[in-house]
Amino acid sequence: MATSDRTEAPLTRTDMQDFLADFKWSVAEELERKLSPIMEAMADLTARTQATETKMEGVQESVHAHTEELQDLRDQLRILEDSNEDLNKRTRWHNIRVRGLPETVSTDLLPDTLTRVFQYLLPDATMTDLLMERAHHALRAPSANTGRYSSATLLPY
């Protein structure tokens, strides 16, 4: 049997420290090589997330501002609708309702007929006093006893 000519020297403390240092360095290098793309991806993801969050803050501020503007516009619309309704009601305050005209008086002849009735009832009134903005029959069907109302709005009032 052949014996080995080689004899190995026992490991010294320095040899073990060198071996451990080399091993640590190779592990650190391998970890750095493997983790480097992951760290780059995480840094990129962090930057994109921060950019997205910044944009979302801007969007939220914009939505909040638009929501407030929309509410202001709704409030203004409600005020205008209320004012319009009030004006429409006020125009009816000045209507004069006449009952008892024959149904044969057409809508076209109604202003002239009402002017003659007013002249008969108010002989001192001038034609300027009796100018009408509008005159119309009530939309309701005439009642059997009294007939349909007719309404007129005089301009001077």
One domain, residues 20 and 82: yes
In angstroms, the CA 112 to CA 98 distance is 14
Per-10-residue mean pLDDT, the chain, length 157: 64 90 93 93 96 95 95 96 85 80 86 92 90 84 73 78
In Å, what is the CA distance from 52 to each residue of 45, 123, 138?
10, 83, 65
The predicted pLDDT at position 4 comes to: 55
User: Using one digit for the tens of pLDDT, what is the confidence trace for 101-111?
Assistant: 888 888 889 99
Q: How many CB atoms lie within 10 A of CB 120?
A: 8
Structural domain count, the chain: 2
The predicted pLDDT at position 144 comes to: 67
In angstroms, the CA 72 to CA 101 distance is 50
Give the residue numbers spanning the domain of 104.
95-154
- Residue 154 near residue 131, CB atoms below 8 Å: yes
One domain, residues 69 and 55: yes
The predicted pLDDT at position 88 comes to: 78
One domain, residues 45 and 79: yes
Q: Which of 76, 93, 110 is the last residue of a domain?
A: 93
Task: Specify the pTM.
Answer: 0.43
User: Using one digit for the tens of pLDDT, what is the confidence trace for 81-103?
Assistant: 999 988 877 777 778 888 888 88
The predicted pLDDT at position 8 comes to: 77
One domain, residues 85 and 101: no
The predicted pLDDT at position 119 comes to: 92
The predicted pLDDT at position 39 comes to: 92
- Is residue 3 assigned to a domain? no
Q: Which of 56, 71, 93 is the last residue of a domain?
A: 93
The predicted pLDDT at position 116 comes to: 92
Q: Which residues contact 122 (CB under 8 A, 6 or more apart)?
A: 129, 130
In angstroms, the CA 131 to CA 153 distance is 9
- Residue 151 near residue 95, CB atoms below 8 Å: yes
